[in-house]
Structure 1
């Protein structure tokens, strides 16, 4: 038997290692990328179309023979020209096949930005190269009629925007010309001067000016619009605003209401779609579209705008344009509101000279339909009439009085009105330390005695005040047609909390809109949820306790004839309740001014934020509202 030395063994091992390396070298050497995909024409077509759907041009080129030099450019141009954001493919079918060539048809669905899906049947042509099928690209993959040198184009247009209508069906919005007032950030020299001028002349919130100038997307020479005004208003403010560096003006077409500021927050405005609105609206909207940006214009955008129409066209090298597909748009549909023109005009006139934040809302007592709604200032985005929630103060005593009447009290029931009352170790005092001594429920309601209501409400059974609040819609959810949080009456935590709640303080909150419905409920004995859209279904309803509406009307009439609103005693048929609602931590506390009223089938609320005393501030505005309404109705007869 032969013996192997270590040296021979070593040579043998090296030989085998070398042989193994030689076998492995081809696998490590660079290789040309193999073109094509194994399988039949349908298999290759499926893989190719999957790559197309994900816009993988590299993978597509790998399955082509003699790839055109401008292959990538043609795809990019096709996508850009038609605004294609996605493609999918289906219904592959082998149309023909022989030893050297094959044709596969397919159904493409291309989503065009702002228009929708364009469906087109097309084909891929294949050639056999060795044992593989590869595609030969031609423009007909885009469309059967496309040839080299042809281009694609599209058209897109919205139809006329439909109008918002008043309760009678007359348009509240019509096309017209306005002046857009805004800033060129790079030309502003004194931010304070700009903000002050815009606030003084147009009521623009200085915070909006600051936000515009601090915006990361603001370019020095980019116009930033702040407010649109009619030509007549522009002529009034131009002499003051034009000299201020950075403030500029632009003419544009806009939707006009019957008068400047008419239901401005409610109807809303139309303008170029913002990034936020574009994300919220989705298909079929795209950058540059005009859309509703606020109010009902925004809330009813899809109804008012309809949908855009469009065309896909193929333009041959000769210049001939061929229609390939048409997108049929839909016209907008008018939206009828519950607003009554004369009531809204009266509300606007009542707040015309008010410089503090304010609101006035009027509703139909029989249905809850909103007849008028106005918020101030016009240059502030907050629609405080619908979305601002405030302590209702003594206007809430309408609710407390209903609970007292439901428990058996009468308007002539004895009620004491001392200067001070204690509840749960907390002392409460009357406004301006008033005291009326021994009195009646009618008198303490008319004079808005806090201590009397604290003492009387303490006698109510458990849950009685909460139940009364719910009968007036507190804690009830409803859809007005625009965002509005309604009113809340949290369950009192202790005697002091209940005492504060009985006079509309503590944690009780309500919108001016809701307090208008509180007044309205007294007229019919039934609370109706408010609504702004005429065709909307009626919302929740609640009934007051039997016998209480008549007594409440008696009490509310006393407020006007002999109480805190007696300055309005000359207004025939008016009933109401004043409110001076404390807020904040200042000493003495700041107060909101309220008045809720009822007359001629209309319930309304007047609110002035931080306005002071309801009887001195809100009541005169209520009188002006009714005077303007009377004048309008008289002239219409």
Structure 2
């Protein structure tokens, strides 16, 4: 009110200084906002005390007391610590009774217990009149009506069994097991360089990381510095080399295991002690020390897989024994069924078994978009490039360009030109490795991936035809795979030169390997389905290609395998696909990513090798390996079925 009075007097002074002829402004009178009424006596003191309690202001709490216990501060701190109280809030207190010198105020408090949730307690504050002043006569009853001096509080907290990640058939992909943690004790090391070298050679551990840990000022001689966890089978392979090196030690550790080392590692993810970042993101009911999903589906499906912890709040009597005050009913973790097929995933892993470049293999069901397999390399890298890596699709994008051309009236046998180079908007485009086909057919230009053919033809398309075709193949469409994935983008071309680059999958066009598996699937079925990794998820977006284009696209893709850039795979029955060699960077000549996208027997797949070279020479052999592993698994499954019968 004082501030308002000052402003009012200043305003009046300014009005007196105005010329007499100035028009007067009549200001409406604004009534002051009344301050909230605080009850006097015991009820008002109760409000003060509870407000201080909610703020954890022990000093303000004590000012309301009379005859405060000497250990009052310690009792408040112990109560918070024993129960893990992180916050308290209170409903407005109610005066229950008042006499000449005593009064009782009833209140309800809700205390949030770390890692468990809210605990509601109804209790009472007892006031006495001393002279002319009311004060709170505090006893442990304030914490809980059953508490007496000398009693303490305790709690329990237990997580139920974690749910499993299941494959498409409902079989578990994650089981409880044991790993061997490989580490070093600094005080036992005789040759630091030798330790770092052998850990790198046998397990791929970064030697700089090992040396940095050993050289750290806070490293204790008998401290176990863990560097990597390995499965029992891998431990048996390396133990004979690692064990003799002074300073290297092993410890067993419970773990959650997949069917084989590295199996769908990036997709399934891993579990471990919660990090500060994960704790902040997860919030209640998590607390430090909890084991949670740290990556992959283990992280995104954490709430479902983990359930909720159960717990109890107990009153521990000074005389012995305890009483249950409250029970938190937890929930066991629930299984999450994925769309992964174990045989297809194993084939994808087999395709990349000895690949040294960063690479990815993805497979989807052509009829649904369900993800059947996703494998990324290197395994030690946390980045799931099959899912989140975005790259120029290069000539694999000619599936999209061809659909637009076929929709405009071209046929596989239509006559086209394939010169060495063309110029569009003052930019010169050349064929890869200077190939010239001259007059030819669309089928042959597609099979041998003639860039200049598709650049020339794209110039004749109606405005926005290529953009519309890209949209039909899911470019620019948002979808939820079950794990974060950016999908594919086709920005509107800024000029004719960029449209020419886009037509051959360069320019600003970007895709993930996962998305390209859906593109080749759409080319085979005529319907694009958004990819999905969770079996029970709602169907995502889909779109249909222009009627009449699908059969021609199948014909074009088959020609790539029988007579084109993927001819090395011609012995694979029924295979159709498209190669791609994507230029990137500014070097001359530029390095290239290797692509092959294919479809066979209802499975659409993409093989990608980052910086690997030419698609037909690098990606196609990996595709062959993938399909051969898949065929071998089918034969084995058939034989097992025969034996079972």
**Helix, strand or coil for the counterpart of 2:505?**
coil
Q: Judge conservation of contact 1:39–1:132 (CA < 8 Å) in 2.
A: no
How far the C-alpha of 1:466 sits from its partner, in A, is 1.1
**Helix, strand or coil for the counterpart of 2:176?**
strand
Q: Judge conservation of contact 1:579–1:614 (CA < 8 Å) in 2.
A: yes
What pairs up with 1:180-199 in 2 under 5 angstroms? 180-181=181-182
Match of 2:280 in 1: 279
Aligned: 1:162 with 2:163: yes
CA distance in 2, matches of 1:505, 1:477: 21
Match of 1:631 in 2: 632
Q: Which is worse superposed, 141-150 or 241-250?
A: 241-250
How far the C-alpha of 1:59 sits from its partner, in A, is 1.7
Q: Judge conservation of contact 1:205–1:380 (CA < 8 Å) in 2.
A: no
Compared CA separation, residues 188 and 338, structure 1 to 2 (3 A): farther
CA distance in 1, matches of 2:596, 2:41: 83
- 1:139-182 C-alpha deviation (Å, 9 max, x unpaired): 11111111111111100011000011111111111110012345
How far the C-alpha of 1:94 sits from its partner, in A, is 2.9
CA distance in 1, matches of 2:69, 2:260: 62
Structure 2: runs of 5+ lacking an equivalent: 1-37, 639-645
Q: Which is worse superposed, 131-140 or 369-378?
A: 131-140
Match of 2:348 in 1: 347
Q: Which is worse superposed, 358-367 or 413-422?
A: 413-422
How far the C-alpha of 1:246 sits from its partner, in A, is 7.5
How far the C-alpha of 1:365 sits from its partner, in A, is 0.5
Q: Which is worse superposed, 603-612 or 118-127?
A: 118-127
Compared CA separation, residues 154 and 474, structure 1 to 2 (3 A): same
CA distance in 2, matches of 1:210, 1:386: 33
Q: Judge conservation of contact 2:140–2:148 (CA < 8 Å) in 1.
A: yes
Compared CA separation, residues 333 and 428, structure 1 to 2 (3 A): same
Q: Judge conservation of contact 1:175–1:256 (CA < 8 Å) in 2.
A: yes
CA distance in 2, matches of 1:512, 1:430: 24
Match of 1:581 in 2: 582
**Helix, strand or coil for the counterpart of 1:385?**
helix
Match of 1:47 in 2: 48
Compared CA separation, residues 219 and 329, structure 1 to 2 (3 A): farther
CA distance in 2, matches of 1:309, 1:372: 36
Q: Judge conservation of contact 1:227–1:379 (CA < 8 Å) in 2.
A: no
How far the C-alpha of 1:95 sits from its partner, in A, is 3.1
How far the C-alpha of 1:228 sits from its partner, in A, is 2.8
How far the C-alpha of 1:243 sits from its partner, in A, is 6.7
Match of 2:594 in 1: 593
Match of 1:22 in 2: none
How far the C-alpha of 1:623 sits from its partner, in A, is 0.8
Q: Judge conservation of contact 2:111–2:119 (CA < 8 Å) in 1.
A: yes
Match of 1:6 in 2: none
* Structure showing greater Rg: 1
- 1:558-598 C-alpha deviation (Å, 9 max, x unpaired): 11011111111110000010111111111211111110000
Match of 1:231 in 2: 232
CA distance in 1, matches of 2:198, 2:265: 21
| Count of matched residue positions in the alignment of Structure 1 and Structure 2 | 601
Match of 2:176 in 1: 175
Q: Which is worse superposed, 46-55 or 167-176?
A: 46-55
**Helix, strand or coil for the counterpart of 2:91?**
strand
Compared CA separation, residues 493 and 183, structure 1 to 2 (3 A): farther
CA distance in 1, matches of 2:263, 2:144: 52
Q: Judge conservation of contact 1:202–1:379 (CA < 8 Å) in 2.
A: no
Q: Judge conservation of contact 1:203–1:378 (CA < 8 Å) in 2.
A: no
Q: Judge conservation of contact 1:181–1:228 (CA < 8 Å) in 2.
A: yes
What pairs up with 1:59-78 in 2 under 5 angstroms? 59-78=60-79
Aligned: 1:141 with 2:142: yes
Compared CA separation, residues 201 and 585, structure 1 to 2 (3 A): farther
**Helix, strand or coil for the counterpart of 1:75?**
helix
Q: Judge conservation of contact 2:360–2:385 (CA < 8 Å) in 1.
A: yes
**Helix, strand or coil for the counterpart of 2:631?**
helix
CA distance in 1, matches of 2:264, 2:256: 13
What pairs up with 1:500-579 in 2 under 5 angstroms? 500-579=501-580
RMSD: 2.5
TM-score (norm 1): 0.89
- 1:177-216 C-alpha deviation (Å, 9 max, x unpaired): 0123456799999998777655554455779779989999
**Helix, strand or coil for the counterpart of 1:488?**
coil
What pairs up with 1:50-449 in 2 under 5 angstroms? 50-181=51-182, 200-203=201-204, 226-240=227-241, 249-449=250-450
CA distance in 2, matches of 1:405, 1:217: 68
Match of 1:489 in 2: 490
CA distance in 1, matches of 2:487, 2:200: 30
How far the C-alpha of 1:250 sits from its partner, in A, is 3.3
Compared CA separation, residues 437 and 484, structure 1 to 2 (3 A): same
Compared CA separation, residues 228 and 469, structure 1 to 2 (3 A): same
Compared CA separation, residues 271 and 137, structure 1 to 2 (3 A): same
Q: Judge conservation of contact 1:203–1:380 (CA < 8 Å) in 2.
A: no
- 1:592-618 C-alpha deviation (Å, 9 max, x unpaired): 111000000110000011111111111
Compared CA separation, residues 478 and 507, structure 1 to 2 (3 A): same
Q: Judge conservation of contact 1:205–1:379 (CA < 8 Å) in 2.
A: no
Match of 1:8 in 2: none
**Helix, strand or coil for the counterpart of 1:509?**
coil
Q: Judge conservation of contact 1:184–1:248 (CA < 8 Å) in 2.
A: yes
CA distance in 1, matches of 2:614, 2:193: 32
CA distance in 2, matches of 1:244, 1:496: 61
- 1:266-287 C-alpha deviation (Å, 9 max, x unpaired): 0000000000000000111100
Q: Judge conservation of contact 1:358–1:608 (CA < 8 Å) in 2.
A: yes
Q: Which is worse superposed, 492-501 or 530-539?
A: 492-501
Compared CA separation, residues 548 and 214, structure 1 to 2 (3 A): farther
